[in-house]
């Protein structure tokens, strides 16, 4: 029997978990690697996304190595502008009306003239891409938990300094098994005091305890991933009561071995517990799927109805740092998407067999 569904690429939504280098198109990486003479391993040449099994140390090391190789192909301001413009184009194609792209500018500083020039180049690229594509777009500066907490404080101060130039949040990424969250509490205090949203990673490679650490030590308003909170009903209630949004990335979770299959990702558990979610693509370059595909996973593997998918989109908008007028426009667009007749004239519909 054939079912007709509303087109998920036409569903307005916000994208709150997308890493900078990881947003690159595979074709762009191939071109830049050729330009700079960088040898790419097979896993970065497109095709089937690699199974990285980052739940063990060797798997995470391999993931980081692939990411570092890809990042080494971003050497000039023109490369940065291209990456940001193309990331915006891809998001618009997937129905995103607001994107918060996450970046650690220290990673790009050596080739772009230093930390401040690197961040300014990135912010200028974001501003240009936003104007060119019509996508609301801002930056979340992320510290690396594998580095010294003093570096995170430096980044937090820099992020606050550029809050009026497009920085809206402060994050903490990389292997959550390394570097205690509390070691970065001062950096997050600086960011929060400067008006930035706190959005550290947690609850991906380790269990519910890392989500609790994000709440207790860093006073997180959002948690990058957060899926492992599903293992602790008390923590789920806490997230729901506080309205802390979890930036859930289903395709990434499977590619990194956090869960074996798409249907194992606890989307239903979080949703039915009332935990706000913002589905994200994380690193499409490595995981092979972008934003709309995450909603497809919720539909195909978890039975989310169009009304529930619309609610997921609303949660992404509410969890964002978008200004009120952008929120109103996106929320109205979600209502329109849901109200439109399925398969009616002008309605882009997708078909699946069941």
Residues belonging to the active site: 204
90-141: pLDDT as tens digits: 999 999 999 999 999 999 999 999 999 999 999 999 999 999 999 999 999 9
Query: Which pTM does this prediction carry?
Result: 0.93
Distance CA 276, CA 317 (A): 10
Domain parsing of the chain, residue ranges: 13-321
303-319: pLDDT as tens digits: 999 999 999 999 999 99
152-200: pLDDT as tens digits: 999 999 999 999 999 999 999 876 666 788 999 999 999 999 999 999 9
Total residues found in the chain within this entry: 354
195-226: pLDDT as tens digits: 999 999 998 888 899 999 999 999 999 999 99
CA nearest 284: which of 66, 101, 25?
A: 25
317-327: pLDDT as tens digits: 999 999 999 99
What token pair was written down for 4? 């007709």
Distance CA 336, CA 331 (A): 9
Distance CA 111, CA 77 (A): 9
Q: For position 54, what pLDDT does the model report?
A: 55
Distance CA 40, CA 59 (A): 18
User: Mean pLDDT over residues 227-250, rounded?
Assistant: 98
| CATH fold for the domain made of 13-321 | TIM Barrel (3.20.20)
2 by DSSP, 3-state: which?
Answer: strand
Residue 33 has, within 13 A of its CA and on its CB side, a CA count of 20
């Amino acid at each position: 029997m054939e079912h007709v569904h509303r087109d998920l690429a036409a569903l307005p939504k916000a994208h709150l978990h997308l890493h900078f280098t990881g947003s690159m198109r595979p074709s762009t990486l191939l071109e830049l690697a050729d330009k700079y003479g960088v040898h790419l391993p097979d896993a970065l040449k497109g095709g089937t996304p690699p199974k990285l099994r980052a739940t063990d140390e060797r798997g995470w090391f391999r993931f980081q190595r692939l990411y570092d190789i890809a990042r080494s192909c971003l050497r000039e301001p023109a490369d940065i502008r291209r990456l940001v413009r193309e990331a915006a184009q891809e998001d618009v194609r997937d129905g995103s009306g607001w994107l918060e792209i996450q970046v650690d500018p220290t990673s790009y500083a050596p080739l772009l003239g230093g930390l401040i020039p690197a961040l300014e180049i990135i912010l200028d690229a974001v501003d240009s891409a936003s104007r060119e594509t019509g996508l609301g777009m801002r930056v979340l500066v992320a510290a690396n938990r594998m580095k010294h907490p003093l570096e995170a404080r430096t980044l937090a101060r820099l992020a606050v300094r550029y809050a009026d130039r497009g920085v809206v949040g402060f994050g903490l990424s990389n292997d959550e098994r390394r570097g205690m969250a509390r070691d970065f509490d001062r950096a997050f205090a600086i960011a929060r005091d400067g008006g930035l949203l706190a959005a550290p990673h947690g609850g991906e490679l380790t269990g519910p305890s890392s989500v609790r650490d994000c709440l207790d030590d860093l006073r997180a308003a959002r948690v990058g991933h957060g899926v492992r909170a599903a293992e602790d009903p008390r923590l789920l209630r806490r997230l729901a009561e506080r309205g802390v949004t979890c930036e859930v990335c289903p395709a990434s979770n499977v590619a990194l071995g956090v869960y074996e299959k798409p249907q194992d990702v606890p989307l239903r558990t979080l949703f039915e517990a009332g935990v706000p979610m913002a589905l994200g693509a994380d690193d499409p370059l490595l995981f092979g799927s972008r934003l709309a595909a995450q909603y497809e996973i919720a539909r195909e593997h978890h039975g989310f109805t169009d009304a529930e998918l619309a609610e997921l989109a609303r949660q992404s908008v509410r969890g964002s740092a978008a200004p009120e007028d952008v929120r109103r426009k996106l929320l109205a667009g979600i209502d329109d998407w849901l109200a439109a007749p399925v398969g009616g004239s002008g309605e882009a519909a997708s078909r699946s067999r069941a």
